Structures are given as structure tokens and as C-alpha cells.
Amino acid sequence: MGTTKNTQSMENISESVRTYRTKMGWSQLELANRAGLDRKTVNRVENGRYAPSVETLLLVGDALGVSMNSLLGNK
């Protein structure tokens, strides 16, 4: 049961990050630079291959101008 919930959470995060990034018209590299992250990290988050830490979510959210809750799908 927990695995399904975790999978859904990762899908929410992946979709949210990609959606907000593309709304800004940014590449993954642009978001990475603005958030102080590596482009590979952004790619892994967007593809659901990396469960971002709270710190990473805060950095991405700050760069995109959205809350961590929004990235988690809790609008």
C-alpha cells in the first residue's frame, strides 16, 4: 500500500516540476541553474527516478516561484 502512495507522490512531483518549468519557458538546465542544482538532478526528478529531499523541493519551488505544497500536488 505504501509503495503505491509513494509512486503517486513521485508522479505528482515529476508532473508538477515539469509543468511549472515549461510554463516558465525554461529548459531543465535553466531551472537547474536558477535552483543551484545539477541538470541531471532536475532530469531525474522530472522522470521520477529521484525522490527529492525537502531541501531540493524548496530550491526548485523558490526558483519557480511556487510553494513546496504546489510541487507536491497540494494546491
**Residue at 41: amino acid letter:** T
Whether the pLDDT of residue 9 is over 90: the answer is no
At 25-54, the pLDDT tens digits run: 999 999 999 999 999 999 999 999 988 999
- Of the candidates 52, 38, 49, 42, the one whose C-alpha atom is nearest the C-alpha of residue 18 is 42
Whether the pLDDT of residue 8 is over 80: the answer is no
The pLDDT of residue 4: 59
User: What is the distance between the alpha carbons of residues 40 and 71, in angstroms, rounded to a whole number?
Assistant: 18
Grade residue 10 by pLDDT with cuts at 50, 70 and 90: confident
SS3 37: coil
More confident residue, 75 or 15: 15
Exposed, middle or buried: residue 39 (CB in 10 Å: 0-12, 13-18, 19+)?
Answer: middle
Q: Which CATH superfamily is domain 2-71 in?
A: lambda repressor-like DNA-binding domains (1.10.260.40)
What is the pTM assigned to this prediction?
0.87
More confident residue, 17 or 73: 17
Instruction: From residue 56, give the alpha-carbon distance in Å to each of 1, 2, 4, 64.
Output: 26, 22, 22, 12
